[in-house]
Amino acid sequence: MMHLSEEDLILLYYGEPGVPANARAHLAECPDCATQARSLAATLDECKNWPATEPAAGFEARLWRGVAARLPEKESRRPRLRLFAFAAALASLIVAAFLVGRVTMHTAPPITAGLSSQARERVLRISLADHLDRAEILLTNLSNGIAPDRGRAADLVSEGRLLRSALMTSGDTGTLALVDDVERFLLEAANEPEHPADAEMTTLRRRIEDDSLIFKIRIIKSNLRTRGQQS
Amino acid sequence: MDRGDDAAIEDARRGDRDAFRALVERHGRSVFQLACRMTGNTIDAEDIAQETFLKAWREMRRFDGRASFGTWLHRICANCSLDHLRARNRRNISSATAEPGAPDPMEQIAASSPSPERLAASAQVAAILGPAMGRLSDMERAAFVMRHYEGMGIEEIARALGVQSGAAKHTVFRAVQKLRRALEPAVRAAR
């Protein structure tokens, strides 16, 4: 048998499949390969001594504060829907303000008085990121096989369309394309029967995965928030 | 499953935030440390730890207890770290690359108990290891951490990285080869 390659020795070290059938027997008989294996094992064993980094003081409290601030409100269904309706209404108002601001930018904007165009752009980005947050939760549930809340999906479609209008004015084509993609899935979720068939859910889930939709949402959301903070 | 986790997990599944807080406080540090190894950045690691627990809260019902809660959290953390690295790469356009019976001879290679000199030399190796890990590409580093520290198999790493298993295997190979080149002289001196 030929000598073992470094790749074979790495696979052997980790107990991974894919090593030649007689690799272990060869290793027991071949001093050269045994030396190589010892050298590799010594290096990899030393890597186990890599000290873990300790977080800065107060980490656990800081972590919990960050997590708790982003946990959904623990409320009954009805108040949650009211909260959602409020969020949608607020988004509508912001978008309307944005559009009016755009149209009347050179006159005297009555609704956006006091808001610079930069501030309006920032508000739009934050509203979009919040909309994508809510869409991501619904789509993540869908891709985990949880039947969609059709009312919530329908609300998100309406909210997305308002934001879409503002986006068309702002010229952010990348985000616009994503909002369009998300809307297609939300529409399907809104129109699902109350108890969708497993096959339908599987197809929808597969399409969400194939489109890397949730990943794209996270990227755009992160960009929107970064740009929102910078502007 | 850790006995201390059982009750907290059950309560957290029913929406009990205090129970979930206990889990965050118990596992937060190890999640942070994994994220730190994956990304090499403590600030990113704090964000990733937060994302990990938010995702865990949303998916508590899916936790079936087959693995320990800590292992389950680490899988979520590894995926959050990868999402983070991908987003970072896109932003920075970084240079990340794609990509029984007889005694086991590998076990016979196990090290004997360390002498004080060897412990000192090991500390030197550890000092070289940090910068050597920093020279790996994001994907090499992530793949190596998942294989070496988290005990994830190549197939699982491939799924996490979103690549074929052959590509995942070669990413681990490259990481090991680079680390070996960087560390071997110090390791040899330490033996």
For residue A181, tell me if it sits in a domain.
Answer: yes
Whether the pTM exceeds 0.80: the reply is no
For residue A60, tell me if it sits in a domain.
Answer: no
Q: Which residues of chain B are within 8 Å of residue A41 when distances are taken between CB atoms?
A: 106, 109-110
- Rounded mean pLDDT of chain B? 84
Based on the structure, what is the number of domains in chain A? 2
Task: Tell me if B188 and A39 make a contact (CB, 8 A cut-off).
Answer: yes
CB A133 within 8 A of CB A214: no
Read off the pLDDT of residues A35-71 as tens digits, 9 standing for 90 and up.
999 999 999 998 988 888 999 999 999 999 999 998 8
Higher pLDDT, A216 or B80: B80
Residues in chain A: 231
Read off the pLDDT of residues B5-40 as tens digits, 9 standing for 90 and up.
889 999 999 999 999 999 999 999 999 999 999 999
CATH code at B3-92: 1.10.1740.10
Q: Based on the fold, state whether residues A91 and A12 are members of the same structural domain.
A: no
Per-residue pLDDT at B103: 47
Q: Based on the fold, state whether residues A87 and A137 are members of the same structural domain.
A: yes
B164 at interface of A, judged by CB pairs closer than 8 A: no
Q: Based on the fold, state whether residues A25 and A104 are members of the same structural domain.
A: no
Per-residue pLDDT at A115: 62
Residue A43 identity: T
Residue A171 sits in which domain range? 79-230
Percent of all residues in chain B with a pLDDT value above 90, rounded to a whole number: 55
- Rounded mean pLDDT of chain A? 79
Which residue of B86, B90, B136, B180 is the best one to mutate when testing the A interface, meaning the one whose CB has the most A CBs within 10 A? B180
Q: Where in chain B is the domain with CATH 1.10.1740.10?
A: 3-92
For residue A103, tell me if it sits in a domain.
Answer: yes
For residue A54, tell me if it sits in a domain.
Answer: no
CATH code at B105-190: 1.10.10.10
Mean pLDDT of A157-178: 79
Nearest to A220 by CA among B87, B40, B116: B87
Q: Is the ipTM of this complex over 0.85?
A: no
Burial of A4 (0-12, 13-18, 19+ CB in 10 A): buried
For residue A59, tell me if it sits in a domain.
Answer: no
Q: Based on the fold, state whether residues A11 and A104 are members of the same structural domain.
A: no
B29 at interface of A, judged by CB pairs closer than 8 A: yes
Specify the DSSP element, H or E, that contains A209: helix A198-210
Quickly tell me which residue has 């983070």 as its tokens. B84
For residue A69, tell me if it sits in a domain.
Answer: no
C-alpha separations of A4 from A125, B89, B104, B108 in Å: 56, 36, 16, 17
Q: Which residues of chain A are within 8 Å of residue B173 when distances are taken between CB atoms?
A: 6-7, 10
Per-residue pLDDT at A101: 58
How is residue A71 written in tokens? 């946990």
Quickly tell me which residue has 């956006």 as its tokens. A112
Start-to-end C-alpha separation, chain A: 65
d(C-alpha A145, C-alpha B7), whole Å? 26
Q: What is the DSSP string of A15-47?
A: T-S-S-TTHHHHHHH-HHHHHHHHHHHHHHHHH
For residue A110, pLDDT over 50 is answered with: no
Nearest to A13 by CA among A22, A3, B123, A36: A36
Which residue of A22, A32, A48, A50 is the best one to mutate when testing the B interface, meaning the one whose CB has the most B CBs within 10 A? A50
How is residue B70 written in tokens? 């800590």
Least confident among A198-207, B3-12, B66-75: A198-207
How is residue B12 written in tokens? 């957290």
The DSSP symbol for B152 reads -
Q: Where in chain B is the domain with CATH 1.10.10.10?
A: 105-190
Q: Based on the fold, state whether residues A37 and A90 are members of the same structural domain.
A: no
For residue B87, pLDDT over 50 is answered with: yes
* Helix (H), strand (E), coil (C) string for A72-140: CCCCCHHHHHHHHHHHHHHHHHHHHHHHHHHHCCCCCCCCCCCCCHHHHHHHHHHHHHHHHHHHHHHHH
Q: Based on the fold, state whether residues A18 and A113 are members of the same structural domain.
A: no
Mean pLDDT of A90-110: 57
Per-residue pLDDT at B12: 93
CB A49 within 8 A of CB B128: no
The DSSP symbol for A191 reads T
